[in-house]
Chains A and B, each alone.
Chain A
Amino acid sequence: MTDAMLVNLMSGLDISLLNDNYLEEDLRRNRAIKSRKLLNRIGGLKEGREFVIKDSLQDGIEQEIERQTAIKEKEEKICPDLSERLEVRVDNVKRRINRIWAIVTGILTMAVVAGSVVAIILKKKSSAKLLKQIERARTAQSAT
């Protein structure tokens, strides 16, 4: 078990186990001096200053809103009611299964037909050979 594994295992920690305030206490006791300097450097909030949503974040938010609106509109266009939507999906799956089954049965049928034709041809050939042998034997007998 490596340190990296321990770190990764901690990623799965139940959120209720993390309801601590260790880091808040650090900040409260002014132990996080480095972060104060950093906060100033990245133009973070100072007392009384308003939070301005940066362009990159605003873009991300707007894109997400557009994406969710588009998904919702698409679903409503196809089928307004949720239960109908579910039915449509089930129908689609059923249709696909039927299509696949039709193809499989078609292939099986063709195989059976082809096999039968081959069997008939082979049988005819072997019967023809047998008849020839019988004829030869009769001819030989009558000659003698």
Chain B
Amino acid sequence: MTDEDILSLIKKKNDLGLSMMAEKYEKLLVYIVAGILGSRSRDIEECVNDTYLKFWRNVDSYDLEKASLVTYLKVIARNTALNRLRDTKRHEDRTHVEDISDIANVYADQSQNIENQIVRKEDMVWMNEMIASLPERDRELMIRKYFYLQSSKVIAKSMCMTVTAVDSKLSRLRTKFKQEFHNWEREERG
């Protein structure tokens, strides 16, 4: 069944569309969510279910010409998992959540500070331009690390690099982003 067929069924509020969508993409969604939340199966299951429900609720706003069905699902799953991660950290108040990547732990910690959560629209526009301007491989590194919160180990395995090479490349990219952001902010403020 094609994505168009699935979308059409869900727009008609037909459960079959949901079943088809899950058959096709559940594995991928579990992979994304597990990468952020670790191996807490109950949280993962709830997160994936929330993803389906959010998609179902907002189905009329998805434009398959702009992005594929799976891309929308990936974004929803990722954001749902991040929210769950922040809440887990806040409520359980553990100093270090086991079994998740370092970047996910750092994110969970730093997000408790409200200042780190405030992001302006202009900053996001800048970020889009920066990411779009990167070479393909660098873009993949940034997206894997800061969008999907994958560990350097997972990234290295996926991209056929060593962990040291991944960390080194990411460090240079991070420095570049920080420098460019700083310059951009100065220009913005005149």
Interface residues, chain A, with chain B CB atoms under 8 Å away: 1-20, 22-27, 31-32, 34-36, 38-39, 41-42, 44-45, 50-51, 53-54, 56-57, 60-61, 64-65
Contacts and interface: CB of A to CB of B under 8 A. Distances in A.
Nearest to B65: A16
Contacts of A54: 45, 49
Contacts of B30: 35, 38-39, 42, 44
The dominant DSSP class at the B interface is helix
Interface string B65-84: 01110111011000100100
Given A9-B123, A54-B49, A61-B56, A27 B28 contact: yes
What are the nearest 6 A-B pairs in CB distance? Answer: A12-B124, A4-B110, A35-B31, A15-B67, A4-B116, A9-B127
Interface of B: 13, 15, 18-20, 22-23, 26-28, 30-32, 34, 39, 41, 44-46, 49, 52-53, 56-57, 66-68, 70-72, 74-75, 79, 82, 103, 106-107, 109-111, 113, 116-117, 119, 121, 123-124, 127-128, 131-132, 139-140, 142-144, 146-149, 157-158, 174, 177-178, 181-182
Nearest to B67: A15
B31 A6 contact: no
The dominant DSSP class at the A interface is helix
A19 B147 CA distance: 13
B45 A42 contact: yes
Contacts of B26: 39, 44-45, 51
